[in-house]
Structure 1
């Protein structure tokens, strides 16, 4: 039947260049019953209206596998997906896939090259179909175990370069603690940025797992006492994965438990912590790229997608935070008294202006024109191609740069593969400013710092500054050595003459 074939070309968002738009389709005649056809038709139509060509090609492969599975002997009495519960369907699908020699796991490689494993695409696709067809969840959003942030009646404070859509409470294993945590998170979301709340939720998951293993009788935060907390803090500070984030973790845990204490009038939780519980912050090594490293990186960056390359080069030349670069506006360029200026909207602090070179102004103008030609009027210069009303996402850039580094085996001066160090471009810029002998106020202004105290880090990293500051000491040491050599005789005279 004609209407049992769903063509990609019938959907405007799937009409891509070349002949590809004509070779995609879903064949519903592969399904054994009319009920199954209608169920899959609903999901496929939804995906075709909202998905990309590439995603639908992947969907079609998974759909074809599932159609074969539904025609297998084990499903001969099945009329509809509603005839079994979702987990039974998934279990049977996995068994069938193993019988057919189809892998049930998918290898996933992170941007840093580490490998992990998850469910195969076919299984994930079937899960999504079953979820789509399942009964509508009529619970209030804050009663669910996974919150869709768009459904909350709160204005979420977020950094637009990060795509945060949900908050997941499922790995808080104690039901009462999970509900207590939900109420605290909902309250804190009204005053804190989403990144801060995510940190609180992360440490609560870690704490919940610890309680499940070590204190399984604890069901509510009201049962947590000082002894339990101290044992957890010792565990946190001594476990193998302990790192410099422990200070932030303890602060986040304290904030979460104190909020729960206020909500449930549990005064003990509000006075559970003492100041010495918070470990001193471990200052991260302040690293900066060498000139040779910058040359190697930029030689490959300039071979990437033109707008990605422009973005990274502009980021280097501005010395901004990556969030400030990705949220530059099309009207950011101005001229004042013959000088090109740029206006920067800082996510972390405020708006400010600074002078830029003609070359940088031209590069920015090219980026603006590229976006206008491709996407029309947008809020940002560097945009998310799938959602042009949003800025280019940090993870999209990170993935592309790390893929390039892995592919090219691009290594630093120590022979290690480069990481994704966008902040090191900022460090490099700051160090170069110190080598120009600018004063601290000017350097802080150009870097967009609110205070002067951060400038000292750039000065310490400047080789030229280090040479200037240690010259007197090095000369004094040389004089001491030469005085000693003078007593040793003529055989060492050549050393002094070489000075």
Structure 2
């Protein structure tokens, strides 16, 4: 987040909120881990968090409250606070006492100036400013360069207080937290923010108005769609800012501008894995469709910032490359030989993840819908066991699919485990697969963690496809496996469409074509009923 020119200051009620809990142990300038009120087990090591170098009481209490609140909400673990943050806090307070001794609040620090000086200080004292992050258990993931923990501590404390003290309406800010917008969003994804600072001025307010109208007022787009719009249209606005730095709105946008943008877009580079490549047709298609949608919308409602020329004369359908549709032999599904290997090694996965994997394969639910299942999702009827859950993508409430007794027993065991472990505070929405501590407490397990741990297992256990290559899992491949299996078992296509809650028969037909091709290649006959 880029620091706003708006002056943010702590108000009396903020200071009261900070100072009120800082009593007893928390009032001390030295916190010994062995005496910490939040200590949940015995630690053989003895570490301390030391605040005594900070002379200004206001700033000192801000640092204390940050750690107190993090420990209380389990956003920061005991180990991380006292083992990892302890040396970083020591260096940070030394720097503060030397160069910013008169500060009343951490947000009084000129952020970019501070970072420049702090990086210099760290280098002079033999401390790192950046680290190369490699995941040893995930060698297929490219290493990334990240700020060191010394830098991250300052950034985290700064952002914590900037957001605490900034009491503007969420949509007036340049960085929105979807959790504060009072809209429905997919909380199985760990991303919560929309950072508009990447949209250059003077187009930022216009674009914020567009997203606010569609996401918050009309709720005609999802949060994930808003994220895509932000990423794609910020690219267009940056191009326009460079080409016409004097413009204040889009009134003068011409066909020539659009043609130059399309050329610029086609010759840009995008990161794919470890490589930079030119965008394909699907990539260009999405960027141009989003741009056309945006211009059409602001012209339809006669916004004063809209281009004078109609969207039809600016961007025609011929400009947009046709999106490449998924072919039958291109769908990423989990074949039997891979599923058998996964089942063989499944006990090496976390016990929290195993029932999720089994339910994805058994229900065909999207990963977000499996993770969002409630404790009471299991129903026993005369005709057997059923799973009931919402399908977010198609806004289908209480979708029901049959499951085997074996899978029902897995769900019953998970129900008992979740009820035993959770409380109304740690699992207020009664999820079947909740996170019970940390930053995501009260939310479902994140879908990224499922994919990551599946691929760790594939790499560790040599789970391979028919060509002898390591099989890299995608969560949606379980849904494709379910659809292919239904077709393979001779189910009517319309019934498959209903069971999978497909909004249209298009994807269902892809499964059918896949099985037809598979059987033809293997010299077999498959009859698929379409009526």
Aligned residue for 1:17? 41
In structure 1, what is the Cα distance between the partners aligned to 2:236 and 2:409?
Answer: 52
The aligned runs of 1:157-176 (5 Å cut-off) are 157-173=184-200, 175-176=201-202
User: Among residues 71, 74, 85, which one is paired with 1:59 in the alignment?
Assistant: 85
Matched, 1:184 2:224: no
Identify if the C-alpha distance between structure 1 residues 52 and 299 changes in structure 2 by more than 3 Å, giving closer, same or farther. farther
In structure 2, what is the Cα distance between the partners aligned to 1:279 and 1:88?
Answer: 45
The aligned runs of 1:291-370 (5 Å cut-off) are 291-349=336-394, 350=396, 351-370=398-417
SS of 1:340 mapped into structure 2: strand
2:373–2:389 Cα contact (<8 Å) kept: yes
In structure 1, what is the Cα distance between the partners aligned to 2:205 and 2:334?
Answer: 47
The aligned runs of 1:125-204 (5 Å cut-off) are 125-132=153-160, 136-137=165-166, 139-152=168-181, 155-173=182-200, 175-189=201-215, 190=217, 191-204=220-233
SS of 2:203 mapped into structure 1: helix
Give the structure with the larger helix fraction.
1
In structure 2, what is the Cα distance between the partners aligned to 1:62 and 1:221?
Answer: 47
Post-superposition offset of 1:15:
2.6
The aligned runs of 1:213-232 (5 Å cut-off) are 213-232=242-261
Matched, 1:29 2:52: yes
Post-superposition offset of 1:407:
4.7
Post-superposition offset of 1:361:
0.6
Post-superposition offset of 1:117:
1.0
Post-superposition offset of 1:440:
1.3
Post-superposition offset of 1:170:
0.9
The aligned runs of 1:234-273 (5 Å cut-off) are 234-241=263-270, 242-243=279-280, 244-261=282-299, 262=301, 263-264=303-304, 266=306, 267-268=308-309, 270-271=311-312, 272-273=314-315
Identify if the C-alpha distance between structure 1 residues 138 and 352 changes in structure 2 by more than 3 Å, giving closer, same or farther. closer
Post-superposition offset of 1:469:
9.3
Deviations 1:63-97 (A, max 9, x none): 122234446xxx27834376863333222221121
Post-superposition offset of 1:327:
1.5
Post-superposition offset of 1:169:
0.9
Task: In structure 2, list runs of 5 or more residues that go unmatched.
Answer: 1-24, 271-278, 526-531
Corresponding residue pairs, total: 464
SS of 1:159 mapped into structure 2: coil
In structure 1, what is the Cα distance between the partners aligned to 2:225 and 2:432?
Answer: 27
SS of 1:454 mapped into structure 2: helix
Matched, 1:113 2:154: no
In structure 2, what is the Cα distance between the partners aligned to 1:394 and 1:77?
Answer: 43
2:250–2:305 Cα contact (<8 Å) kept: no
Matched, 1:278 2:320: yes
SS of 2:393 mapped into structure 1: coil
Deviations 1:336-358 (A, max 9, x none): 22511221221123132222111
Q: CA RMSD in A?
A: 3.1
Q: What TM-score results when the alignment is normalised by the length of structure 2?
A: 0.78
Matched, 1:211 2:240: yes
Aligned residue for 1:493? none
In structure 2, what is the Cα distance between the partners aligned to 1:395 and 1:48?
Answer: 25
In structure 1, what is the Cα distance between the partners aligned to 2:195 and 2:340?
Answer: 42
Post-superposition offset of 1:437:
1.8
1:157–1:192 Cα contact (<8 Å) kept: no
SS of 1:103 mapped into structure 2: coil
1:260–1:269 Cα contact (<8 Å) kept: no
Post-superposition offset of 1:233:
2.1
In structure 1, what is the Cα distance between the partners aligned to 2:458 and 2:134?
Answer: 14
SS of 1:223 mapped into structure 2: coil
Identify if the C-alpha distance between structure 1 residues 224 and 361 changes in structure 2 by more than 3 Å, giving closer, same or farther. same
Aligned residue for 1:492? none
Aligned residue for 1:483? none
In structure 2, what is the Cα distance between the partners aligned to 1:79 and 1:265?
Answer: 45
Q: What TM-score results when the alignment is normalised by the length of structure 1?
A: 0.82
In structure 1, what is the Cα distance between the partners aligned to 2:166 and 2:508?
Answer: 53
In structure 2, what is the Cα distance between the partners aligned to 1:313 and 1:138?
Answer: 45
Matched, 1:40 2:85: no
1:430–1:458 Cα contact (<8 Å) kept: yes
Matched, 1:100 2:125: yes
Post-superposition offset of 1:182:
1.1
In structure 1, what is the Cα distance between the partners aligned to 2:179 and 2:485?
Answer: 43
The aligned runs of 1:482-497 (5 Å cut-off) are none
SS of 1:348 mapped into structure 2: helix
Segment of structure 1 superposing worse, 443-452 or 96-105: 443-452
2:128–2:150 Cα contact (<8 Å) kept: no
Identify if the C-alpha distance between structure 1 residues 420 and 84 changes in structure 2 by more than 3 Å, giving closer, same or farther. same
For the pair shown, the structure with the greater C-alpha radius of gyration is 1
Post-superposition offset of 1:140:
4.2
2:450–2:475 Cα contact (<8 Å) kept: no
In structure 2, what is the Cα distance between the partners aligned to 1:221 and 1:273?
Answer: 14
In structure 1, what is the Cα distance between the partners aligned to 2:483 and 2:412?
Answer: 24
In structure 1, what is the Cα distance between the partners aligned to 2:42 and 2:338?
Answer: 41
* Higher RCO (CA < 8 A, seq sep 6+): 2
1:435–1:465 Cα contact (<8 Å) kept: no
Segment of structure 1 superposing worse, 395-404 or 308-317: 395-404
Identify if the C-alpha distance between structure 1 residues 208 and 294 changes in structure 2 by more than 3 Å, giving closer, same or farther. same
In structure 2, what is the Cα distance between the partners aligned to 1:25 and 1:88?
Answer: 30
